Amino acid sequence: MGVNDDAAIYATVKGDLIRYATVLVGPDRADDVVSRVMVRLLRRRSLSSLDEPRPYLFRAVLNEARWLLRSRRSSALPVPVTAGNPIPEPDWEVVAAVAALPARQRAAVFLRYWEDLSVDAVAQHMGTRPGTVKRYLHLTRRSLKGRLS
């Protein structure tokens, strides 16, 4: 296991990590967040040494995004990106409402609805319990219902 293994693992998750970071911090900062995560991680260990690299990397991206949002108090609106598909014209009211959610709620929404992961898989990717994910989704629905009514 070595550099080639790390490159192969990164190649399989890079697009998903960029999309995830885009939802969390916006398109202008997504690449930076993913790059910072990879640099920090690869200084300490190899991706191939991880039992589950994908969930680990998603948790790391969420943590880095949260740090960035706290440190910069960003007001940029993250825009969801799909995997190579043309993006339909978004409902900007919905985009703004989702962008206003806390990072953990945005992360849960992205993983559950955009990536179509089960609640258990979302919990694994976020490094939390399924009940916590359900709570984030409940709070999100309640918040969006109030804002979009």
- Mean pLDDT rounded to a whole number for the chain: 84
- Per-residue pLDDT at 86: 56
- Burial (CB < 10 A; 0-12, 13-18, 19+), residue 115, is middle
**Residue 2 — pLDDT band, cuts 50, 70, 90?**
low
Q: How far apart are CA 114 and CA 100, in angstroms?
A: 17
CATH of the domain at 130: 1.20.140.160
In 3D, which of 43, 32, 111, 38 has the Cα closest to residue 72?
32
Number of domains within the chain: 1
Average the pLDDT over each of 61-65, 90-94, 99-103, 131-135 and give the range with the smallest value. 90-94
Tens digit of pLDDT for each residue in 41-97?
988 888 888 889 999 999 999 999 988 888 765 444 454 555 555 556 667 787 788
Q: How far apart are the first and last CA of the chain?
A: 53
d(CA 112, CA 5): 28
Percentage, residues of the chain above pLDDT 90: 44
Position 28 scores a pLDDT of 87
Provide mean pLDDT across the span 5-26. 91
24-44 per-position pLDDT tens digit: 888 888 999 999 999 999 888
- The boundaries of the domain holding residue 131 are 3-148
Lowest-confidence pick of 84-98, 101-115, 116-130: 84-98
Closest CA to 46 of 36, 61, 31, 57: 57
pTM more than 0.75:
no
Q: What is the pLDDT of residue 14?
A: 93
Sign of CA dihedral 29, 14, 94, 132: negative
